[in-house]
Homo-oligomer: A and B are copies of this chain.
Amino acid sequence: MKLKVIDVNLSTGGPAIAIISEADAKKLGLRASDRIRITRLRTGKVAIAVADISSEHIRPGEIGLFEEMLKILDIKEGIHVEVIPSERPRSIQYISAKLEGNPLSRKQIYEIVSDIVENHLSEVEMTYFVAACYSNGLSMEETANLTNAIVETGTRLEINKRMILDKHCVGGVPNNRTTLIVVPILASLGYTMPKTSSRSITSPAGTADTMEVMAPVSLTLEKIKEVLEKTNACMVWGGGNMNLAAADDKLIRIRHPLSIDPEGMLLASIMAKKKAVGATHCLIDIPYGFMAKFPTKQSASSLAKKFVKLGRMLGMKVKVVMTDGSQPVGNGIGPALEAYDVLSVLKGGGPNDLREKAIYMASEMLAMVGGKKAREKVIDALDSGKAYSKFREIAIAQGGKKHIKLPKARNFFDVISPKDGAVFQINNKAISRIARIAGAPQDKAAGIYLRVHCNDRIRKGSVLFTIHAQSRAKLENAILVAKECESITVK
């Protein structure tokens, strides 16, 4: 069937979709989500698309194409194409089988992932894949295959080094910004550490958001290689146009609406990003405790074992540390306030808990790669100022300014203790919520600055934390929430 292209002036954000009229769909025997093969007549360029059947907006004889399809076919409105029904991708059968409880073979997983990356699957079909992995679980073998498939269908960072270090924290603890301290320490000791981090999803700041206050983090792969050659390390955003683990970004989009995190998919998602940068050694931090992702050490240790096993299957040395996540690590919560803590520690001062955790993480990492007297070397790197110099070197290589100037909020409010006593508990979730309502991470300077940690003895009226906000209105909202929920318990 010959149809005239209409540019619908929209993007699908991925999936290859074409809209045809009900009448033409009937003639071709198509139902919604069936596939069509579109051929540009003059050039012979071909694309497969999911047929979306319109009752109104596309007339018989026309085919509505989204941006993605126009690009693939290199075509404009008004040009004619030939359209015939096409088979559905075989990966759909594999997804069905997984939903029915059958394990997926290596070949099947590769085909599903490659169809996801090439936009051959609709959102509905990808959702069935996520749901199937969630309901029926993924074996370690399936997880390893999924990880490799995600790596191999995405872009890889090729660095010619024998050892490449990486670290990851499963999150859930405010601040805890050790990455931005550990990376310059190890780089200053001569190790290669191409660190990619995420932005905030539901937290007041992700590592990439915090780094962005001090230097650009949205770099091309070329630029990242340049930074690495110059400085041994980088601290950049892992998303965007880099296309590392592209399939993973698409799956995360599908997981978001229900916050569905199939464990195997979570493991694959994390480890694929490590393997894509060529990591040979990886340190994983799983914080546990009150209002962390894992309530107890026991609950964290099953995941810990899987990380180690998956690492072995992927040919990567993985070490897991389970750390205290019962309260924030550091004082600042929000991009600029966290950056302030990071810079303080790098300059030899800073909140002691953040400094101690960074030293611990860096020492464990160094011990992994065979460094002797690890803790001593790490402390020396910090105290001698070598780590700070390295940090500035990396930040400048990424395009940062020579003099880092942190943004400051315009409005403040001190939340005070209602009584004498000791700090019994700090609720990570409540603290994060208040910081977000104050404007973080959108408003870089917004957030919370903690004045106390657990077990501190305090007097009635002394400050528990300060809320920082750009706008008066956001400050008022944050104060309201701070008054409603007991974020810090004094006993």
Contacts and interface: CB of A to CB of B under 8 A. Distances in A.
Nearest to A201: B31
A139 to B, nearest CB: 17
A64 interface: yes
Contacts of A257: 33, 92, 122, 124-125, 128
Contacts of A67: 56-57
A478 B113 CA distance: 35
A92 B259 CA distance: 10
Contacts of A64: 10
A103 to B, nearest CB: 15
Contact of A99 (B53, B57, B131, B253): B131
A29 B209 CA distance: 14
Interface residues of A, number: 45
A25 B131 CA distance: 27
A134 B258 contact: no
A448 B29 CA distance: 18
Interface string A239-272: 0000000000000011011111000000000000
Nearest to A257: B33
Given A26-B442, A201-B31, A96 B254 contact: no
Contact of A260 (B9, B53, B99): B99
A8 interface: yes
Contacts of A123: 123-124, 127
Contacts of A125: 257-258
A27 B442 contact: yes
A95 interface: yes
A132 interface: yes
A239 B45 CA distance: 38
A132 B27 CA distance: 35
A136 interface: yes
A10 B132 CA distance: 31
Contacts of A29: 436, 442
Count identical subunits in the complex: 2
A6 to B, nearest CB: 9
A8 B123 CA distance: 20
A47 B180 CA distance: 43
Nearest to A253: B32
A298 interface: no
Contacts of A131: 99, 127-128, 131-132, 135
A10 B11 contact: no
Nearest to A27: B442
Contacts of A8: 8-10
Interface in A432-454: 436, 442
A299 interface: no
Contacts of A96: 258-260
A19 interface: yes
B124 A57 contact: no
Nearest to A32: B253
Interface of A: 8-11, 13, 19, 26-27, 29, 31-33, 52-57, 64, 67, 92, 95-96, 99, 122-125, 127-128, 131-132, 134-136, 201, 253-254, 256-260, 436, 442
The 4 A-B residue pairs whose C-beta atoms are closest, nearest first, are A131-B131, A135-B135, A127-B127, A33-B257
27 contacts: A8-B8, A8-B10, A10-B10, A10-B57, A10-B64, A11-B55, A13-B52, A13-B53, A13-B55, A27-B442, A29-B442, A31-B256, A33-B257, A56-B67, A92-B257, A92-B258, A96-B258, A122-B257, A123-B124, A123-B127, A124-B124, A125-B257, A127-B128, A127-B131, A128-B131, A131-B132, A131-B135
